[in-house]
Amino acid sequence: MRPGTLVLFTDRPAQREGLLRALDAVAPCHPRDAAAVVPAGDCIGFVADVDLLQPSLLRGLRALIAEAPRLPRLFLMRDTGARSLATARSLGASLCLPPDTAAGAVAEAMRTHLTRPVPEAVPLRPAGSGWGTGIAQAADRAGAVLAGLLDAARLTGTVDPMLVEHGLDPILGAVGEAGLGAWLDTVRAYDDATYQHCLLVAGLAATFAIDLGFSLRDREQVVRAALVHDVGKALIPLEILNKAGPLEPAERTVMRTHAALGHAILVEAGGFDASILAVVRHHHELLDGTGYPDRLSGDAIPDIVRMITVCDIYAALAERRPYRAPMPPLEAFRILRGMEGKLDMALARSFERAVAKA
């Protein structure tokens, strides 16, 4: 059990005992009337199970957050309408869960979040600091977004589309101002292979989109796609996902299901447009029809999917793993060039130029 206490704000008596029991296994948990003002004291995190459309219920939450802005905070959402989600965002939600999430899953999510930074509490670039600090904070913020997405996908089978939005600015800002090299060096320090990979793909995608002269809206769309492209990996068993070495054929078959699983997660979530859904489902398709899951070929593969596929393959080569060093850029570019017929070569050449000069 962790030192410190948890606070449960709830206005649902029927759920209160179950949640308290489960959260008590993480740290001693105290229930509070949602309208009560609570001093932070040794509070290390809270769960809010209240109707966010009732302003009078938010006073206690805002007081607690003002006193301890970095507390992990989980919200059991009564509804996922725009107003409720916007309120949860303004309160710095670490994770938004459906109201009927099992108490054990809520406790498990809290346990995970206690070890992670809170996305909203950290300014992207504090006054007077250089990008050496700012880029680490930007990576932490984007990493926390990714953690929230993968946790929610694993625990509930769905994700909050609004959470993804918190990751866009940090990545585009850090890559645009500090450069790709600094981003890659920072992100390679992540031990978790999936976080490292997704943040690498997002940084590469941001660099590519900036170099192609995309509008801000289109840059954000490419980074949004990159952040969620592997969300289906949340449902792949960890012994396969994190295996140190090549996968057996049966394991590879399981791993390959992540594309269709990710697509199903985002369809279930709602709020993701067709091009994001296409990237998640089709980023392993190849122009010659030898990819998966639908063996698409040629023109059936949209441009944004082709872009993310190039970033994805390069990122997989450029990753740091405990059992191998990152592949040097020239060698990784050579492998991309060797995939003529499978990748869009015009895009692959543009990508190489963008990365080489970044």
Is there binding between residue 285 and Fe ion (CB under 5 A)?
no
CB of 91 to Fe ion, least distance (A): 32
Q: Residues of 227-246 as b/e, b for ≥16 C-beta within 10 angstroms?
A: bbbbbbbbbbeeebbeeeee
Nearest distance in Å: CB 99, Fe ion = 31
User: Cβ closer to Fe ion: 140 or 230?
Assistant: 230
State the Cα–Cα distance between residues 7 and 251, nearest whole angstrom.
41
CA gyration radius for the chain? 21
Q: What are phi and psi of 324, to 5 degrees?
A: -160, 150
Q: Closer to Fe ion by CB, 23 or 241: give it.
A: 241
Size of the site for Fe ion (CB under 5 A): 2
Residue 147 CA to residue 153 CA, distance in Å, equals: 10
Please name the helix (run of DSSP H) or strand (run of DSSP E) that holds residue 67, with its range, or none.
Answer: helix 59-67
Site string for Fe ion, 167-206 (x = CB under 5 A): ----------------------------------------
Closest to Fe ion by CB, 48 or 204: 204
Shortest distance, position 335 Cβ to Fe ion, whole Å? 16
Sheet-wide strand order for 95-97: 29-32, 5-10, 43-49, 73-76, 95-97
Residues 289-318 that bind Fe ion (CB under 5 A): 312
Q: Between 319 and 344, whose beta carbon lies closer to Fe ion?
A: 319
The two tokens of residue 358 are 């970044």
Minimum distance, C-beta of residue 305 to Fe ion, in the bound complex (Å): 12
> Least distance to Fe ion from the beta carbon of 257, Å?
11
One-character DSSP codes across 228-249:
HTTGGGGGS-HHHHT-SSPPPH
Cβ distance to Fe ion smaller for residue 312 or 352: 312
Q: How far is the CB of 70 from Fe ion (least distance, A)?
A: 30
Site for Fe ion in 38-57 (CB under 5 A): none
Piece of 147-155, 226-234, 248-256, 332-340 that binds Fe ion (CB under 5 A):
226-234
Minimum distance from residue 272 beta carbon to Fe ion (Å): 16
Query: Interface with Fe ion by CB under 5 A: which range of 31-39, 54-62, 116-124, 230-238?
Result: 230-238
How far is the first Cα of the chain from the last one, in angstroms, to the nearest whole number?
A: 46
Q: Please state, in angstroms and as integers, the Cα–Cα distance from residue 262 to each residue in 17, 134, 238, 239, 314, following that order.
A: 34, 31, 16, 19, 21
- Give φ, ψ of 40 to 5 degrees: -65, -45
Nearer to Fe ion, 312 or 344 (CB): 312
Binding residue (CB under 5 A) for Fe ion from 151, 230, 319, 352: 230
User: Are residues 300 and 279 in contact, defined by beta-carbon separation less than 8 angstroms?
Assistant: no
> Which residues sit at the interface with Fe ion, rule CB under 5 A?
230, 312
